[in-house]
């Protein structure tokens, strides 16, 4: 009865206890960093001697942090839009196309997700240096679109595979052009997939560190590069404050995603 929750007996208590421990382990750093950001100790003593908001004040007083966050948001938005559009087009070919090498093509388009980022990072760094895109926003966007593309293709192809093509055909039979049928019948039907693709693609760029470290210039750095730079210097509590805001962002993104998914699936 090992797969019957109600009949596991003592084993259930043991497994539940273990699951609780692992959940606590997964939650620990996230909660810890938020608490730390309100602690008054510059040397990160914990529990902190008293509570304060001064690290947040220091964070907002330094325009470099805000600038880095805006740069990240700008690059991630552009990369996500590009990845979703290109990924959507590719998904139709990957799911419905009948041509030789379709599986090879799928494998190729998903490779950026599998190849260690550090290999891609130095490759694109060298390439962009040569063609003059090093340290530019365009270079950042292109590199991040490559990395975000698999994260767009996976949910969209999954949604498209679950969509019955005969509904689209019915629209064509009723007089819609193939393009119109795709736009007004198929796209609304796979909107959850497209929405997930947008979120994943955005996060793939927003959180990306390795390519960004190589691509960054003194005048163009993303938030992860800024955090990386600070981490290499010292473990200042200001990083905890910035990190807590990122946790807040993650939480709001999770809630928005859950709400939108619920609304879209109605």
Partner 1 sequence: MSGNFLHRQPILRRPDGIGGALPALTLIALFFVVPVVALLLRSVTEPVPGLQNYAILFGEGTYARVFFNTFLVATVVTAVTAIVAFPVAWMLAIMPPALGSIVFGIIILSMWTNLLTRTYAWMVLLQRTGVINRTLMDIGLISEPLPLINNLTGVTIGMVYIMLPFMILPLVGTLRAIDPMTLRAAALCGASPFDAFRRILLPLSLPGIAAGGLMVFVMSLGYFVTPTLLGGTSNMMLAAMIAQMIQSLLNWGLGSAAAFILLLVTMALYALQLRLVGAKRMTGGI
Q: Which of residues 97-156 bind partner 1 (CB under 8 A)?
A: 97-99, 103, 105-112, 114-127, 142-143, 145-146, 149, 151, 153-155
Q: How far is the CB of 63 from partner 1 (least distance, A)?
A: 20
Q: How far is the CB of 142 from partner 1 (least distance, A)?
A: 5
How far is the C-alpha of 70 from the C-alpha of 77, rounded, in Å? 10
Q: Which residue's structure tokens are 């497994």?
A: 15
Q: How far is the CB of 200 from partner 1 (least distance, A)?
A: 7
User: What is the token pair recorded at 143?
Assistant: 């590199």
Backbone angles phi, psi at 118, to 5 degrees: -65, -35
Q: Binding to partner 1 (CB under 8 A): which residues in 193-232?
A: 196, 200, 203, 207, 209-210, 213-214, 224, 227-228, 231
List 28, 183, 256, 264, residue binding partner 1 (CB under 8 A): 28
Cβ contact 166:100 at 8 Å:
no
How far is the C-alpha of 177 from the C-alpha of 253, rounded, in Å? 37
- Report helix, strand or coil for 51: strand
**DSSP percent split of the chain into helix, strand, coil, nearest 5:** 80, 0, 20
Q: Binding to partner 1 (CB under 8 A): which residues in 41-60?
A: 43-46
Is there binding between residue 256 and partner 1 (CB under 8 A)? no
List 18, 51, 184, 256, residue binding partner 1 (CB under 8 A): 18
Q: How far is the CB of 135 from partner 1 (least distance, A)?
A: 14
How far is the C-alpha of 113 from the C-alpha of 146, rounded, in Å? 9
Is there binding between residue 189 and partner 1 (CB under 8 A)? no
């Amino acid at each position: 009865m090992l797969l019957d929750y109600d009949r596991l007996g003592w084993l259930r208590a043991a497994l539940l206890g273990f699951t609780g421990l692992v959940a606590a382990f997964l939650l620990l750093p996230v909660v810890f960093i938020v608490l730390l950001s309100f602690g008054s100790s510059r040397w990160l003593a914990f529990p902190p001697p008293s509570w304060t908001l001064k690290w947040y004040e220091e964070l907002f007083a330094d325009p470099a942090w805000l600038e880095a966050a805006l740069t990240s948001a700008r690059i991630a938005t552009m990369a996500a839009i590009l990845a979703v559009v290109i990924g959507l087009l590719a998904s139709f070919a990957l799911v419905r196309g009948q041509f030789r090498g379709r599986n090879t093509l799928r494998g190729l388009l998903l490779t950026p997700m599998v190849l260690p980022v550090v290999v891609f990072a130095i490759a694109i760094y060298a390439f962009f240096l040569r063609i003059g895109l090093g340290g530019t926003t365009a270079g950042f966007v292109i590199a991040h679109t490559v990395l975000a593309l698999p994260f767009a293709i996976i949910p969209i192809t999954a949604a498209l595979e679950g969509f019955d093509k005969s509904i689209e055909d019915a629209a064509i039979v009723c007089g819609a052009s193939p393009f119109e049928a795709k736009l007004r019948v198929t796209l609304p039907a796979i909107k959850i997939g497209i929405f997930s693709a947008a979120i994943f693609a955005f996060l793939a760029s927003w959180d990306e560190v390795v390519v960004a470290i190589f691509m960054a210039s003194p005048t163009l750095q993303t938030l992860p590069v800024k955090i990386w730079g600070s981490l290499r210097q010292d473990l200042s509590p200001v990083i905890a404050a910035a990190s807590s805001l990122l946790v807040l962002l993650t939480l709001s993104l999770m809630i928005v995603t859950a709400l939108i998914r619920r609304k879209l699936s109605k």
